[in-house]
Structure 1
Amino acid sequence: MKKFVLLVFILTSFGFSQSQTQIDSLQQILKDWANLNRYKNENAKLVLTGSNKNRIVFMGNSITEEWKRFQPEFFSDNKYINRGISGQTTPQMLIRFRPDVIDLRPTAVVILAGINDIAENTGPSTVKMIAGNIISMAELAESNGIKVIISSILPASGFSWIPIHDPPPKILAINMIIKNYAEKNSMTYLDYYSSMVNDQEGLKKEYGLDEVHPNKKGYEIMSILVEKAITETLSLDHNKK
C-alpha cells in the first residue's frame, strides 16, 4: 500500500545521479496511473479460454493481492481470479474495473476496497467519495449481469507509512453506507470487520502482520467468511429485487 506514496517521494527527490532510464521508467508508471497493464496479458489469456462457469474475481488492493501469497491453494483450487494491486485506491480500481472484472465475464465479483483512500494514497477523499466509488463498481458489475459481493473494510487503527490519525470512524461510516446499499439492492455484504476487530477498533494482533494487513491466520478467517458469502451469492436469483 506504500507504493504510490513512495513513488511520489522518489520522483521529488531525484538528483543528477539518477539515470534517464530510471526517470523514464518512473514516468511510465505514472502514465499508467490505474496500472491497466498489470493484468493485461493474464486477462487476454482468460478471455481466449472462453470457459467462465462460476468464475469469481477478487478486486482489491494489497490485502487482496497478498492473499494469493499466503493462501495460493485457495485461489488455484477454486479457480478464483485475483485482481488485487498493492497501494490502490477506489478511483484507480474503478478505472480498471472493466478490463480486470467485466471483460472476464465472471459469475460474481468480490470487491474489497477503501482503506488506501482513507490513508490518502492518491490524495484526500471523503467518506462519500470512497463509498460512492465502491457503489459505482457494484453498479457496473450488476449492469453487466455479474453478482456482487461488497466487502467491509477491515479494521485499522492507523497506518505505518503515513501519519493519518484515527481512521476507525471513517471505516465504520463507509462500512455502514455500503452495507445499507448492498441490503437495499439485494447484493451480498461480506462483514470481515466484526470478526477481526479488537477493543480499540483496530485489527486484532493475532490476525495482522501490522495495523492494516492480515497474516496467514487472518486470511484463514477471511477465507471461511468469503466462501460462505460466495455460496450464498451463487444461490441468489440475480433478477430478484
Structure 2
Amino acid sequence: MRRAIANLAGAGAGALALALMLSASPALAAQAGQPAVPAPAPSVTVAVAPIGPTAMVTEPCTPSRVGGYDWGNLCRYQKADRQVPQPLRAVFIGDSITEWWLTTAPAMFAGGIVDRGIAGQTSPQILLRFYQDVVRLRPRVVHIMCGTNDVAGNTGPTSPDEYAANVLAMVDLAKANGIAVVLGSVLPAGGFNWRSEMKPAAQIAALNAWLKDLARARGLAYADYYSAMATPEGAMKPGLSSDGVHPNAAGYAVMEPIARAALAEAEKPR
C-alpha cells in the first residue's frame, strides 16, 4: 500500500509543478514544447442569452438542489464563505468531528479560525468543496482531517489509494495557492455505531501511518490526535467520547493544544 501511495504522491506533485511553471511563464512553456496553461480566472461571469431557462444560474442553491442534487454539500457554506472577514488565519475542513468541534468547544475558533466541517462526509466530498470552502477564503493555514467516514464506507466502497489521492489533491491545491497545511490524524475508533459489523481500528492505524509519512515527506505539520486519544487496541480512550467515535468536551480539550501547536508549526517560515 505505501509503495502505491508513494508513487501517487510523486506523480501528483510532478504534474502539479509542471502545470504551475507552464502557467506562470509562457516562455517556459514554449521551451518545453508545450502550450502555455492559462492562469485560472478569479471568478466567472457568464451572460445568459434570452433563449429560455437553463440550469446555469447566478444563485444555484435552491431548495431542490439542496434537497437532492448537492452531493458535496457545496451549498452548506456558500453564503457564509462570502462573509468571512479577512485576514484569515486558518480553515478547519473535515467531517462531523470538525463540524461539532465548533459547537462543543468554540474557543478553538476565535482569532481568525473558521470551521468548515460537514457531518458524514468522506474525502471525495471534502475535496469537491475544497476550492470553494478553503482556497477562496485565502487562509494562511488549512487543517485537513478526514478518513473516519471513508473507512465506514459512507459514500460506498473505497480503497486506501483512493483516499490517498483525495488527500494529496487537497494538499497540492493548498500548496499551489500558498496555503500551509496541517494534516490531522484520523481519530481512534473500535467500532461505528452506524456500522456495527465493522472493526475499523487496524485500518485507521494504517491510514494514520501513511498520513504521518506524508507529512514528513512533504514538510507538512501533523496533528497527532490519535496517539493522545487511543487505547492500545485502537479504540477511543474512555471519557473522551460518548459514542466511541465523536469527541465530547473532554476529547476536544485533549485535541485543542495539539491543534494549536500544529498551526504554529505550519506558520513557521519554510
TM-score, normalised to structure 1's length? 0.83
Q: Using the alignment, how far apart are the partners of 1:216 and 1:158 within structure 2? A: 20
The alignment status of 1:192 with 2:225, answered yes or no, reads yes
1:169-180 equivalent positions in 2, closer than 5 A: 169-180=202-213
1:215 corresponds in structure 2 to 248
Query: Which of these residues, 65, 83, 107, is aligned with residue 140 of structure 2?
Result: 107
Which structure 2 residues correspond to residues 226-241 of structure 1 after superposition, within 5 A? 226-237=259-270
Partner of 2:199: 166
- Amino acid in structure 2 at the alignment position of 1:169: A
Q: In structure 2, what is the Cα distance between the partners aligned to 1:214 and 1:28?
A: 28
Separation in 1, partners of 2:92, 2:170: 12
TM superposition outliers: structure 1 runs of 4+ over 3 Å: 24-28
Name the SS for the 2:181 alignment partner. strand
Q: 5+ unaligned residues in a row in structure 1: which ranges? A: 1-23
Alignment partner of 2:144: what SS?
Answer: strand
1:189 aligned counterpart, secondary structure:
strand
Letter of the 1:209 counterpart: S
Which residue does 2:125 correspond to in 1? 92
Cα RMSD after superposing both structures: 1.6
Secondary structure of the residue aligned to 1:57 is strand
* 1:35 matched to 2:73: yes
> Per-residue CA shift, 1:23-73, capped at 9, x if unaligned?
x96874330000001001110112xx4x225x2000010000000111122
Corresponding position of 2:56: none
Pairwise CA distance, 1:125:
1.1
Secondary structure class of the residue paired with 1:107: strand
| Pairing 1:7-46 to 2, within 5 Å after superposition | 28-46=66-84
What CA distance in whole angstroms lies between the structure 1 residues aligned with 2:237 and 2:172? 32
Contact residue 157 and residue 202 of structure 1 kept, 8 A:
yes
1:86-142 deviation digits (Å, cap 9, x = unpaired): 000000000000000000000000001010011111001112211221121111111
Partner of 2:93, secondary structure, is strand
Q: Tell me the SS of whatever aligns to 2:83.
A: helix
- The more displaced of 172-181 and 79-88 is 172-181
Specify which structure has the higher proportion of helix: 1
Q: TM-score, normalised by structure 2?
A: 0.74
- Shifted more, 25-34 versus 181-190: the winner is 25-34
Counterpart CA distance in 2 for 1:163 and 1:27 is 32
**What is the number of equivalent residue pairs in this alignment?**
209
Secondary structure in 2 aligned to 1:111?
strand
Q: Secondary structure at the match of 2:139?
A: coil
Query: Secondary structure at 1:207's aligned position in 2?
Result: coil
Q: Which has the larger radius of gyration?
A: 2
> Identity of counterpart residues, as a percentage?
39
> What secondary structure, in the 3-state scheme, does the structure 1 residue paired with 2:187 have?
coil
> In the alignment, what sits opposite 2:48?
none
Give 2:100's aligned amino acid.
Answer: E
Q: Which of 60, 64, 70 is residue 94 of structure 2 equivalent to?
A: 60
Q: Which runs of 5+ in 2 are unaligned?
A: 1-61
